[in-house]
Amino acid sequence: MPNRLEAETSPYLLQHAGNPVDWYPWGEEALKLAKQLDKPILLSIGYSACHWCHVMAHESFEDDEVAAVMNRHFINIKVDREERPDIDQIYQTAHQMLSQGNGGWPLTVFLTPDQQPFFSGTYFPKTPRYQLPAFPDLVRHIAEFYHQRKDDLAEQNHQLMQAMARTVPTASHELTAGEDALRLGFEQLRGTFDFTYGGFGTAPKFPNHADIALLLRAAHAGNTEAGNMASQMLQSMAAGGIYDHLGGGFCRYSVDERWAIPHFEKMLYDNGQLLSLYADGWQLLEDKAGPLAQRFVSVIEETMGWLLREMRSPAGAFYSSLDADSLNSQGKSEEGRFYVWQRDEVRELLTPEEYAVAARCLGLDRKANFEGHDWHLFRAAEPEDDEVALLQSAKAKLFAVREKRIRPGRDDKLLTSWNALAIKGIARAARVLERPDWIAVAQQALDFVRDRLWVDGRLLATCKDETAHLNAYLDDYAFLLDALLELMQADYREQDMRFARELADVLLAGFESDIGGFYFTSHSHEVLIHRPKQAYDNATPSGNGIAAVSLQRLGHVLAEPRYLQSAENTLRAFDRVLLRSPAACPSLLLALEEFLRPPTVLILRGAAGRMAVWKSRLNQDYQPHVLCFVLDESVGQLPPTLVREFKNDVNAWVCRGVECMPAIDRLEVLLENL
What length is written for the chain? 674
Q: Please tell me the predicted confidence (pLDDT) of residue 170.
A: 82
**What dihedral do alpha carbons 19, 20, 22, 27 form, nearest 10°?**
0
Q: Using one digit for the tens of pLDDT, what is the confidence trace for 353-381?
A: 999 999 999 999 999 999 999 999 999 99
- Whether 328 has a pLDDT exceeding 90, the answer reads no
What pLDDT, on the 0 to 100 scale, is given for residue 349?
98
Long-range contacts of 382-389 (CB under 8 A, 24+ apart): 382/291, 383/357, 387/357, 387/361
pLDDT tens-digit series, residues 400-441? 999 999 999 999 999 999 999 999 999 999 999 999 999 999
CA dihedral 61, 67, 72, 74 (to 10 degrees): 0
What pLDDT does 101 receive?
Answer: 84
Q: pLDDT over 70 for what percent of the chain?
A: 100
CA 220, CA 277: separation in Å to the nearest integer? 14
Helix (H, G, I), strand (E, B) or coil at 243: strand
Write down the pLDDT at residue 61. 98
Average pLDDT over residues 516-539: 97
On average, the pLDDT of the chain sits at 96
User: Where residue 268 falls among pLDDT bands split at 50, 70, 90?
Assistant: very high
pLDDT value at residue 314: 98
Alpha helix stretches (DSSP H) within 512-659? 543-558, 561-573, 575-580, 586-596, 608-618
Distance CA 665, CA 650 (A): 6
Mean pLDDT of 445-472: 97
Mean pLDDT of 622-635: 96
Beta strands 626-631 and 600-605: pairing type?
parallel
Question: pLDDT tens digits, residue range 91-120?
Answer: 999 999 999 888 999 999 999 999 999 999
pLDDT at residue 245 in the model: 98
The whole-number pLDDT of residue 658 equals 80
- Domain boundaries along the sequence of the chain: 4-165, 339-404, 600-673
Tell me which amino acid residue 182 is. L
When pLDDT is averaged across residues 288-299 and rounded to a whole number, the result is 96
Per-residue confidence (pLDDT) for residue 329, from 0 to 100: 79
Amino acid letter for position 58: H
Residue 99 is predicted with a pLDDT of: 92
The mean per-residue pLDDT over the stretch 315-321 comes to: 98
d(CA 501, CA 496): 9
Pairwise CA distance, residues 276 & 506, whole Å: 26
Q: Are 234 and 566 in contact (CB under 8 A)?
A: no
Quick one: the chain helix, strand, coil %, rounded to 5? Answer: 50, 15, 35
pLDDT exceeds cutoff 90 at 631: yes
Say whether pLDDT at 1 is over 80: no
What's the whole-model pTM score? Answer: 0.97
User: What 3-state class would DSSP assign to 150?
Assistant: helix
Separation in Å, CA 660 to CA 285, 550, 644: 30, 21, 12
Give the tens place of pLDDT for each residue, 113-141.
999 999 999 999 999 998 999 999 999 99
From the candidate CATH numbers 3.40.30.10, 3.40.50.300, 3.40.50.1820, 3.20.20.80, the one assigned to the domain spanning 4-165: 3.40.30.10
Q: Where are the beta strands (DSSP E) in 84-163?
A: 107-111, 117-121
